[in-house]
Structure 1
Amino acid sequence: MITGSTNIVALIGHPVEHSFSPPMHNAAFQKLDMDWAYVAFDVNPNNLKSAVEGAKALNIKGFNVTIPHKIDVMEFLDEIDEVADLIGAVNTIDFKSMKGYNTDGIGAVKAIEEVTPIKNRNVVVAGAGGASRAISFYIAKYGAESLTILNRNVEKAQNLAGDVMDSGLIGEVKSDSISKIGDYVDEADILVDTTPIGMHPHVNDAAIVEAGQMHEDLVVFDAVYNPNETVLIKEALKAGAKPVYGIKMLLYQGAESFEIWTGKKAPVDEMERALRQTLDL
């Protein structure tokens, strides 16, 4: 029950009505018997500054930030986490210090590291948008041997590869056209798909890589979580490769935000249960 002493955290975006974050976080607060509540606010881009100032005035404890505010919100913060600054976007704000973080990348690497360490691995990332950017910097930070970024627009892949290389976090970053993905998967330890291919309702899209191009030691992570078993994950299972599901990234980025706001260890099992229930898995 919400009372006068309840601590509020929220998601801001435009739109937000389809977010899975409120059930996940509220299940965590309930599990730990915390007087906190998570809500979602649809914030028009024209009102972003007043939303941040208003939240501060109302003693809101933290925000998650989603499209289209992840970049623009940075100008209203006092401090940006080092890797979030490299990424150039934040998805979590801690109002105690008005500091911005990006937990998308950490969510992805924690999901992958349930299956395999990233350190000293050769990683191929498909896509060069915002999700790829967040994940690529964290893959570099976690000690990958090499990173190859593939995209339809090769110039975008080249630019992202250059930015990751310039960070000094990794020794080798390559870029190429996504049409050549088969050539790179053969030598890869980990394949990360950040493209929207296979996302509901386009569940019958052709996978970016087919089973015949994969090897059994390959770890295949798809950032898409709806459906849970994407066309790419189906191909990975056919090949006997090791799948990593998008729901895990959603889970771990949420857990990281929870810990930033509360200082408590997130009840990950309870958060995953709530997510699976919401996604009807």
Structure 2
Amino acid sequence: MITSKTKKIGILGWPLGHSLSPIMHNAAFKSLHLDYVYIPLPVHPENLAQAVAGLKAMEFTGVNVTIPHKVEIMSYLDEIDFSAQLVGAVNTVVIKDGKTIGYNTDAQGFVQSILSNGIKITEQTAIILGAGGAARAVACGLFQNGIKNIIIGARNLEKAQQFVKLFSTNVDIQAFDWEDSGFQNLLQECDILINSTPIGMSVHDTEVLPIPWETLNPEAAVCDLIYNPSKTQLLLSAEEHGHIAINGLGMLIEQGALAFELWTSEQGPRQIMSEALTEYL
């Protein structure tokens, strides 16, 4: 039962029909008998500043932040944690003593999800498809955990090159057009292949990622940040060619559990969160 004492958590985004976070977090609160509620808060980009002020006024405990607000919201927060400074985006806000503090749990959430599947990161070569915000979170997580080098492949070479410039010069990271033969040859050296683009999210998607499977290192693990559908065409093809295939559900759970811990100081019940999402999906 929701009362005046119930602590309020939300998720800011536009639109929000795709979000599974309310299902995951409300199941977690219930399992630990915490008097919290998690509420979807669709906010148009033009109203973001007012929304952040409103969260303080209504004494929210915190929020998650999703597309398209992850970067823009940084301008309206009182403090930015190092985790968010590193990625350049916020996906979790804690409101404490009247102050809004922005964090990023996406980077470590991705890392934990692949480590839990037995994938080694240290001294490995990763190839990331895409050069958006999700790719940056993945790259930051990998660099923090000892990856040897990262290769970015994107449809837009200029965007990939701009992505590389976001990182310090002592980091081994390269940018390519993913149709370039030089990029495709590098797939032989790949230990972890990660799709951070939305290609494959729709079952009606006719666009295909340019992966010549005969070239890809046969020992490479293949990860897709998409979790619905649970097996994208990329992952189905990866399994057909004998690769370990990992979808984005683990990252969703891990980043959510880390946010849960920031809000409640309780360990996120990952098994409960996983079961709630699996049942829904």
Name the TM tier (shorter chain).
over 0.9
Shift of 1:46: 2.1
Contact 1:205 1:231 in 2 (8 A): no
In structure 2, the residue matched to 1:158 is 161
Structure 1 residues 33-88: Cα deviation after superposition (integer angstroms, max 9, x where no partner): 11111010111222211211111121100010111211111111121122311322
Matches within 5 A, 1:78-89: 78-89=78-89
In structure 1, the residue matched to 2:42 is 42
Quote the RMSD (CA, aligned, Å).
Answer: 1.6
Matches within 5 A, 1:139-154: 139-154=142-157
Which piece of structure 1 moves more, 213-222 or 203-212?
203-212
Structure 1 residues 207-251: Cα deviation after superposition (integer angstroms, max 9, x where no partner): 432433333321111011111101111111112111111111111
1:136 matched to 2:139: yes
Shift of 1:262: 0.9
Question: Which letter maps to 2:41?
Answer: F
Is the partner of 1:51 in helix, strand or coil? helix
- Give 2:219's match in structure 1, choosing from 210, 213, 217: 217
Matches within 5 A, 1:190-205: 190-203=192-205, 205=207
1:68 matched to 2:68: yes
Task: Give distance in 2, aligned partners of 1:32 and 1:184.
Answer: 47
Which piece of structure 1 moves more, 255-264 or 110-119?
110-119
Question: CA 1:236–1:27 in 2, change beyond 3 Å: closer, same or farther?
Answer: same
Contact 1:125 1:150 in 2 (8 A): yes
Question: Which letter maps to 1:271?
Answer: M
Count of residues in correspondence between the two structures: 276
User: Among the aligned pairs, what percent are the same residue?
Assistant: 39
Shift of 1:134: 1.5
Contact 2:238 2:244 in 1 (8 A): yes
TM-score (norm. length: structure 2): 0.93
Shift of 1:175: 1.1
Task: Give distance in 1, aligned partners of 2:44 and 2:237.
Answer: 39
Question: Which letter maps to 1:133?
Answer: R
In structure 1, the residue matched to 2:255 is 253
Gaps of 5+ in 1: none
Question: Which letter maps to 2:267?
Answer: K
Structure 1 residues 14-51: Cα deviation after superposition (integer angstroms, max 9, x where no partner): 11133100000001001111111101011122221121
Shift of 1:152: 1.3
In structure 1, the residue matched to 2:277 is 275
Task: Give distance in 2, aligned partners of 1:239 and 1:136.
Answer: 25
Which piece of structure 1 moves more, 99-108 or 194-203?
194-203
Structure 1 residues 152-204: Cα deviation after superposition (integer angstroms, max 9, x where no partner): 111111121122234x5xx3111111114431221011111111111113355
Contact 1:105 1:137 in 2 (8 A): yes
Question: Which letter maps to 1:14?
Answer: W
Matches within 5 A, 1:102-117: 102-114=104-116, 115-117=118-120
Is the partner of 1:10 in helix, strand or coil? strand
Contact 1:24 1:272 in 2 (8 A): yes
TM-score (norm. length: structure 1): 0.93
Question: Which letter maps to 2:91?
Answer: N
